[in-house]
Amino acid sequence: MGARRLSSASSGDEYLSEAEFRAWHGALQFANAAVRELDEALSSEHGISVTEFDVLITLFNAPSHRLRMTELAHAVVFTPSGLTHLVARLEKQGLVARVVDEHDRRSFFAELTRAGQKCLRDARPTHNEVIRERLTRRLTAKQLDELGDIWERVERGR
């Protein structure tokens, strides 16, 4: 939901409470602004989008720097067809290779290439600076730990 006020102290489930609204709206505003700024910085300085960076860093952190396309789509929260188009773009740039699975010739792996590793290495300082400027320098170490704990709790569903 956008900036439209969704809370009301006098109603039930139709509106979010003030606390619910502030928590949701704050997370949404922060995430949207941070992703937009990351995308602008990565595009202008390195010629890749934030979603392309996400694929590269996910592959970098994967065993042998590769994942099945379905695993990668799940990890970067993309539809399989959306990921196929994104990986095709990265493949044209030489940053990722699609490799046939030797055990199941119908499946493919996306694999980070050396050029992809270099691109990621070059782009990582830009990515990290945006994150530090927008978030980590604004909070204490204790607040960062607490925020990390909160997001872990939210993700676990507890």
Q: Which residue is listed with tokens 């099945």?
A: 68
Is the pLDDT reported for residue 6 higher than 80? Answer: no
pLDDT digits (tens, 9 = 90+) for 86-132: 999 999 999 999 999 888 878 889 999 999 999 999 999 999 999 99
| Within a domain: 31 | yes
Return d(Cα 98, Cα 68) in angstroms, integer: 9
Q: In what helix (H) or strand (E) does residue 76 lie, and over which residues does it extend? A: none
CATH label of the domain that carries residue 70: 1.10.10.10
| Within a domain: 7 | no
- Identify the pLDDT of residue 26: 95
| Within a domain: 2 | no
Tokens of 20: 């619910």
Overall number of domains in the chain: 1
What is the average pLDDT value for the chain, to the nearest integer? 91
- pTM, full prediction: 0.84
Q: pLDDT confidence of 5, banded at 50, 70, 90?
A: low
Return d(Cα 98, Cα 112) in angstroms, integer: 9
| Within a domain: 5 | no
Structural domain range at position 45: 18-156
HSE of 8 in the Cβ direction (CA atoms, 13 Å)? 8
pLDDT digits (tens, 9 = 90+) for 129-156: 999 999 999 999 999 999 999 999 998 9
| Within a domain: 4 | no
Q: pLDDT confidence of 59, banded at 50, 70, 90?
A: very high
| Within a domain: 52 | yes
Phi-psi category of residue 157: left, alpha or beta, with phi > 0 → left and psi -120 to 50 → alpha: left
**Which segment of 8-12, 81-85, 144-148 scores lowest on mean pLDDT?**
8-12
